[in-house]
């Protein structure tokens, strides 16, 4: 009970490039427990995406240890331990929304009846019931991103890794999706790792906020949120929220003032 779902110990990653080595992650230590909502925030190039990709076995650490559900990231990938949501929805235009959500399930060998039931369930979870037969271009950007979240949820992994999923959306849509994601997290109890550039988004969503700084990319602060799980949008006007946002901003300044 309460064993970490994601456990990083002294994770280092250096990319070898034509211009010389890029030290993307340095001494990253972090434990994430089941059911936590952990956001990664920091200026461009601090290694947020690289760390998420390392958890997802899309990059390999140069040194250090990393486990996901007690397995190596590669074993966890094969065990389908997580769903991954990219910044762009990445839906195939020639497939319907239901067809897009179903695609990974087809590749994984789920039967037709099971696929139909799962697609329906996740469409409801992201509030897109009734849109399964539409094509991506018939949906707004926010709805497309919800469809891509549904696709990541369809095989029911306990972990959801999200790389700036709402970065390209306008603020009103982003607010609505933030509310919807929080609701989904409360309903499903999933463990979520979430990359963002936005202080209010990180503060609104997270149970813990990991502040990172660049050159080399490292964790400079880990902040526990005192906010309750139930968070209406207007919680952002409360003194607790404002104080937490201030603490995150201080953490960002401390790490790398001028870039934030
Ligand atoms: N495949 C790669 N090869 C070489 N360098 C890379 C590669 N991927 C990332 N980097 C470098 O590693 C560093 C960390 O990049 P990363 O994308 O993780 O940062 P980030 O914090 O997610 O930035 P952003 O907020 O702009 O997405 C950057 O200096 C980046 O240029």
User: Quick one: which atom of ligand 1 is closest to the CA of 197?
Assistant: 25
CA–CA distance, 97 with 80 (Å, rounded to integer) = 22
User: Distance (Å, rounded) from C-alpha 10 to C-alpha 93?
Assistant: 42
> What is the Å distance from ligand 1's center to 50 Cα?
6
Closest-CA residue, ligand 1 atom 28, reads 45
The rounded Å distance from CA 72 to ligand 1 centre is 22
The crossing angle, in degrees rounded to 10, of helices 171-188 and 141-153 is: 20
Nearest alpha carbon, ligand 1 atom 8:
50
* pLDDT over threshold 80, residue 5: yes
Taking residues 12-17, what's their average pLDDT? 94
Atom of ligand 1 nearest to the CA of 52: 18
Work out the average pLDDT over 122-132.
Answer: 91
User: Whose alpha carbon is nearest atom 7 of ligand 1?
Assistant: 15
What is the average per-residue pLDDT within 160-186? 88
Which atom of ligand 1 approaches the CA of 195 most closely? 22
Give the position, in ligand 1's atom list, of the atom nearest the Cα of 47. Answer: 18
CA distances from 126 to 11, 122, 189, 190 (A): 34, 6, 15, 14
- CA–centroid distance, residue 174 to ligand 1 (Å): 24
Structural domains present in the chain:
4-81+157-259 (3.40.50.300), 93-156 (no CATH)
pLDDT one-digit tens code per residue, 20-35: 999 999 999 999 999 9
So what's the pLDDT on residue 88? 87
Rounded Cα–Cα distance for residues 242 and 244 (Å):
5
53-74 as b/e, with b when 16 or more CB fall inside 10 Å?
A: bbbbbebebeebebbbbeeebe
CA distance 36 to 34: 6
Substitution candidate for ligand 1 out of 11, 20, 22 with most atoms within 8 A of CB: 22
Determine the average pLDDT of the residues in 6-20: 94
**3-class DSSP string for the chain:** CCCEEEEEEEEEEEEEECCEEEEEEEEEEEEEECCCEEEEECCCCCCHHHHHHHHCCCCCCCEEEEEECCECHHHHHHCCCEEEECCCCCCCCCCCHHHHHHHHHHHHCCCHHHHHHHHHHHHHHCCCCCCCCCCHHHCCHHHHHHHHHHHHHCCCCCEEEEECCCCCCCHHHHHHHHHHHHHHHHHHCCEEEEEECCHHHHHHHCCEEEEEECCCCEEEEEEECCCCCCCCHHHHHCHHHHHHHHHHHHHHHHHHHHHC
From ligand 1's centre to the CA of 95, what distance in Å?
31
Q: Which residues surround ligand 1 with Cβ inside 6 Å?
A: 15, 17, 22, 24, 42, 44-50, 197, 217
Mean pLDDT in residue range 166-185? 86
What is the rounded average pLDDT of the residues 100-110? 93
Q: Which pLDDT tens digit goes with each residue over 48-99?
A: 999 999 999 999 999 999 999 999 999 999 998 999 999 888 999 999 999 9
Give the mean model confidence (pLDDT) for residues 119-145. Answer: 92
Q: What average pLDDT does the chain have?
A: 91
Q: Residue 132: is its pLDDT beyond 50?
A: yes
The ipTM of this complex is 0.96
The reported pTM is 0.92
Residue nearest to atom 18 of ligand 1 (CA): 47
Instruction: Name the closest-CA residue to atom 24, ligand 1.
Output: 44
Residue closest by Cα to atom 1 of ligand 1: 15
Residue nearest to atom 31 of ligand 1 (CA): 45
């Amino acid at each position: 009970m309460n064993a970490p779902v994601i456990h990083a110990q002294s994770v280092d990653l250096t990319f070898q490039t034509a211009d010389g080595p890029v030290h993307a992650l340095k001494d990253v230590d972090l434990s994430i427990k089941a059911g936590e909502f952990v956001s990664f925030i920091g200026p461009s190039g601090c290694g947020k995406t690289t760390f998420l990709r390392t958890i997802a076995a899309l990059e390999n650490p140069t040194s250090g240890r990393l486990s996901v559900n007690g397995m190596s990231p590669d074993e966890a990938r094969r065990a389908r331990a997580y769903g991954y949501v990219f910044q762009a929805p990445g839906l195939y235009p020639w497939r319907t929304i239901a067809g897009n959500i179903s695609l990974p399930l087809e590749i994984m060998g789920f039967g037709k009846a099971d696929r139909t039931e799962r697609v329906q369930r996740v469409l409801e979870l992201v509030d897109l019931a009734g849109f399964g037969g539409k094509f991506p271009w018939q949906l707004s950007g926010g709805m497309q991103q919800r469809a891509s979240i549904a696709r990541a949820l369809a095989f029911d992994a306990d972990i959801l890794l999200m790389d700036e999923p709402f970065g390209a959306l306008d603020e009103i849509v982003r607010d609505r999706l933030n509310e919807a994601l929080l609701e989904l997290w409360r309903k499903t109890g999933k463990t979520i790792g979430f990359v963002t550039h936005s202080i209010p988004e990180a503060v609104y969503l997270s149970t813990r906020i990991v502040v990172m700084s660049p050159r080399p990319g490292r964790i400079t602060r880990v902040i526990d949120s005192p906010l309750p799980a139930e968070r209406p949008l207007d919680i952002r006007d409360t003194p607790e929220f404002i104080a937490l946002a201030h603490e995150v901003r201080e953490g960002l300044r401390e790490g790398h003032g001028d870039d934030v």
